Structure 1
Amino acid sequence: MRIAAAVAALMIAATPAMVHARPAPAPASAADAQAAKDQATVKKAMNSGDLGTIRKMVPALETVASHAPAAYPLVERKGDTFIVRAYNLDQGLIASLLASAAAEKAAPDQKTQVVVDYNTYGLAYFLLGSAAVEARNYDKASEWLDKGLALQPENLMLVTEKGMVLTAQRRFADALALYDATFEKAAAFLISDQQGKARLLRARGFSLIELGRLDEAEKAYRDSLEIEPDHGGAKHEIGYIAKLRAGGQATGIQIMNGEESMKAK
């Protein structure tokens, strides 16, 4: 039995606090005060490290999502300031360096600054989608994740979780199309999130196996091992590809939610 597992449990457990993000300014308006309150709610959910707590917070997270602005990209320019939205310190610092370099190249004589903000609303949609995945309500999960991806199509957490939903629905061609589109349009974000890139490569490989494209699948898994050389799941799938090439019988897929995958470790 081959396992496709949700990403939420691993991501939530491994996410460090973004202690070096710019300090939240004193609220200058009711909108600023609401944004600060929303950020605190999302941080509480992420920092809990517990999917049960997050499920209990779904109503509060739905309220947060209702406050999401119409435009909320991962990188946004406002005047001479580039805002980089990230979920942890490493991603934020690397993305800010890339944004700074791009700004200098585009306008070398213009002074710009880059600030890193907590990705409040992108994370709210991710958490809501993940909570629905945990409940195996894939239609609701798609609804939340699609709203997040409409704001942040390059968000690797949202992409990987949406791919998990498509895999659970046996929509492997759609999952592959999502992954390939992400590789095309999110090059800078793949540089700043190498673990996310490795997850995306493994997810792509999984879909390619199910579509019978074994050579491409093996390459995707081997590329992922260049980033995370000790990943047992990637090595297992390469072995499974060898088994299929030798005429072995295809193995069924077991869809695990986050809690089940954590218990299986």
Structure 2
Amino acid sequence: MRRSIPAMGLACLLCACAHQAPRPTQPTIDTGSDVVLITAKGNNVTIHTVPEGKVRIDADADKVDTAFKLVKDGKLKAAMEPLNEVIDHYESRYGQGDMAVYSAHAETDALVYAMLVNLSGKSQETIVFGPAWAMAYWMRGYIYGEMNQFDEEIRELGKALALAPMDPQYNNELAFVYAQKRDFAKAMALYEQAEAHAELASTPDMVNHYKCVSLRGKGYVLVELHKLDEAESAYKSCLAITHDEPRSLAELEYIKGLRSRQ
């Protein structure tokens, strides 16, 4: 039986999140048409809600969606163009200043990021954009991975995590890459983080999904480290969340086969 390292995949994340993320450079909150979820300075937090009956327009999210469709069609190099436009836009405007900048999917994780700077004791301004900017880094990393350019993928996923450090998807994806490179210590740490942050997902189904991805990833790493009892426990934990989850069942059979040969 061939085994694969578990990763969530492109389509699932884009289905789970309606929008995407940005990034700051000037020490002033002057964002023009960029999608801003929250701004903060010290204890003053402003939530930028959409008026009733209105729709939040995000041209950058549309570009990321265009890139996604190109990736689905196998047009990886063409997909880079809209992603580069999004990234260049935010880096040029927000990449060099003193503001703390984040990228979030919704108000829940946006509020968490807004509080991070406050907890650090710094009084700098904070701005939390929608998800397009971080997702552009993440998708650009995905494309590099498809091209077997894993160092570049790690770099891009690191940038996504700098904007969204508690995003379970980005943590799981970076863990997946390190597992491929057989850097199991880093992979395990990232899977642990992804599992811990899964509660920030938008729906209970996505919370369960992210947790299972993390648990399967941990199981894979533990098997590679010949820690079969711990690996078995990780897969069973996934099955406790999602009954009859096929990958976990297959991995448990794989572990059973390994034990029979010992």
Larger RCO (CA within 8 A; separation ≥ 6): 1
**Structure 1 vs Structure 2: percent identity of aligned residues?**
26
- 1:54 & 1:150 partners in 2: Cα distance? 24
- 2:151 & 2:210 partners in 1: Cα distance? 24
SS where residue 33 of structure 2 aligns? Answer: helix
- 1:193 & 1:49 partners in 2: Cα distance? 26
Match of 1:38 in 2: 60
Matched, 1:188 2:173: no
Matched, 1:247 2:258: no
Match of 1:89 in 2: none
Q: CA deviation at 1:208?
A: 1.0
Q: CA deviation at 1:177?
A: 1.8
Question: Are the counterparts in 1 of residues 70 and 78 from structure 2 also a CA contact under 8 Å?
Answer: no
- 1:201 & 1:119 partners in 2: Cα distance? 25
- Which amino acid counterpart does residue 171 of structure 1 have in structure 2? D
Unaligned runs of 5+ in 1: 22-28, 75-84, 87-91, 104-115, 249-265
Across the two proteins, how many residue pairs are aligned to each other? Answer: 207
- 1:5 & 1:181 partners in 2: Cα distance? 16
Question: Are the counterparts in 2 of residues 18 and 118 from structure 1 also a CA contact under 8 Å?
Answer: no
* 1:168 to 1:53, Cα distance in 2 relative to 1, 3 A: same
- 2:75 & 2:3 partners in 1: Cα distance? 29
Unaligned runs of 5+ in 2: 21-28, 36-57, 116-127
TM-score by length of 1: 0.65
Match of 2:123 in 1: none
- 1:222 & 1:175 partners in 2: Cα distance? 20
- 2:73 & 2:222 partners in 1: Cα distance? 30
- Quote the RMSD (CA, aligned, Å): 3.4
* 1:49 to 1:136, Cα distance in 2 relative to 1, 3 A: closer
* 1:51 to 1:169, Cα distance in 2 relative to 1, 3 A: farther
Please give the residue correspondences for 1:146-225 in structure 2 after superposition, counting only pairs within 5 Å. Answer: 146-184=158-196, 186=197, 188-189=199-200, 193-225=207-239
Q: CA deviation at 1:194?
A: 1.9
Matched, 1:236 2:227: no
TM-score by length of 2: 0.66
Matched, 1:59 2:70: no
SS where residue 57 of structure 1 aligns? Answer: helix
Question: Are the counterparts in 2 of residues 42 and 123 from structure 1 also a CA contact under 8 Å?
Answer: yes
Q: CA deviation at 1:118?
A: 4.4
Deviates more, 1:120-129 or 1:49-58: 49-58
SS where residue 4 of structure 1 aligns? Answer: coil
